[in-house]
Amino acid sequence: MKPLIGISCCTKLFGTFGMINHAASDTYVRATDQVVGGVPVLIPANGVRADIETLIARLDGFILTGSRSNVEPSNYQGPPHAEGTPEDVDRDAVTLALIRAVMRAGKPILAVCRGLQEFNVALGGSLHQRLQDLPGRIDHSTPMQPNPRLRQGKAHQVKLAPGSLLHRLAQAPVIAVNSLHNQGIDRLAKGLVAEAWAPDGTIEAIRATGHPFAFGVQWHPEYDFDTDIVSAGLFRAFSEAISAQRHQGLAVAD
């Protein structure tokens, strides 16, 4: 049987009457189906009602998705967001607890954009709320464009840590990535190491030490997994980690 891959959802308003829905982009579903080889299972952003224990027990791997919303600052003792900044406190309540449980269980997890930020916060790190307001930093937020090629296209380069997963996938010290975020890592959480950096020093990829596969990237590999070898390779590495753990579990059961 195929592995079950949990994909974190956001709460979003849909329809004529603006009813709350739980949503994740189709790009994560397609990457899970086409590259990871798993069955996508959407994890609702149902706040404190989420059954984290059951999710950990039933699912084989986890993808933390990107989102327009920002992690609510009280989760990292930060100042309140500027008025109008989108937040999703119910998603925060699910994902932060889920990350801690995943780390205890040792199950594979891939964190994307907001997911990387959640990963850092869940383990005790902090965030910059608007990178573009900091001296010496570039604007990491791509302008809202209806054309996906412009909105999702490569925006800047990142330098890769020698010998890291990304370095091995790229077979190069530098790659180009897309960029659609305002927040970024400020204080890196204990137990995480940085593995890629933007030209302005912003951390663009992280890995948890002492874990089979707990990896996060600040860009969106789900946008171009069908054309970019690093993006595809990242999802394949995630898939291989899931397969290895499932086989290990079967061996223990036997």
Residue 213, SS3 per DSSP: coil
Q: Which residue from 237, 181, 186, 174 is spatially nearest to 36, judged by alpha carbons?
A: 237
User: Do 141 and 132 meet the contact criterion of CB atoms below 8 Å apart?
Assistant: yes
Closest C-alpha to 6, from 159, 126, 109: 109
DSSP assignment of 39-105 equals EEEEE---GGG--HHHHHHH-SEEEEPP-SSB--GGGGTPPPPPTT--B-HHHHHHHHHHHHHHHHH
The two tokens of residue 214 are 């707990």
Indicate the residue type of 51.
D
CA 129 to the chain's CA centroid: 17
- Helix/strand/coil for 120: helix
* Catalytic positions, written as ranges: 113, 220, 222
Q: Rounded CA gap, 115 and 217, in Å? A: 8
